[in-house]
A = this chain, B = another copy of it.
Amino acid sequence: MPEKIEFVAIHSGMVTSPKGFFAGAVHAGIKEADEKRLDLGVLFSEADCAVAGVFTASKLKSAPVLVSRDRVTAGSGRAVVVNSGCANACTGDQGIADVKEMARLMSVPLGVPEESVFVASTGVIGVLLPMDKVRDGLARMALVKQGGHDLAHAMMTTDTFPKEYALRVKSHDAEYVVAGVAKGAGMIHPNMGTLLCFLATDASVELSFLKIALKRSVDMSFNMVTVDGDTSPSDTVLLLANGMAGNRAIAAGTVPGRAFQKALDRVCIELARSIAGDGEGAKRLIEVKVEGARSIKDARIGARTIAGSSLVKAAVYGADPNWGRVVAAMGRSGAEMVEQKVDVYLGDVCVMKSGVPQAFDVIAARKALRAKEVGIRLNLNLGRGQATAWGCDLTPRYVTINSAYTT
A residues at B contact (CB < 8 Å): 56-61, 87, 89-92, 124-127, 186, 188-189, 191-192, 228-233, 309-311, 314-315, 317-318, 320-325, 327-332, 334-340, 351-352, 355-357, 394-400, 402-407
Contact = CB atoms under 8 A, between A and B. Distances in A.
A384 to B, nearest CB: 19
Q: Do most interface residues of chain A lie in helix, strand or loop, or is the interface mixed?
A: loop
Contact of A331 (B58, B228, B324, B395): B58
A124 B320 CA distance: 12
B89 A125 contact: no
Given A60-B332, A90-B357, A399 B314 contact: yes
Contacts of A229: 332, 334
Contacts of A315: 402-403, 405
Contacts of A335: 59
A57 B404 CA distance: 36
A311 B125 contact: no
Contacts of A89: 324, 328
A59 B325 CA distance: 13
Nearest to A323: B126
Contacts of A125: 324-325, 327-328
Nearest to A335: B59
A231 B332 contact: yes
A310 B58 CA distance: 17
Contact of A339 (B60, B87, B356, B404): B60
A60 B327 contact: yes
Nearest to A191: B311
Contact of A322 (B124, B311, B325, B400): B124
A369 to B, nearest CB: 10
B399 A399 contact: yes
11 contacts: A59-B332, A60-B327, A60-B328, A126-B324, A126-B357, A310-B310, A315-B403, A315-B405, A317-B399, A394-B402, A395-B399
B126 A317 contact: no
A174 to B, nearest CB: 40
A228 B394 CA distance: 19
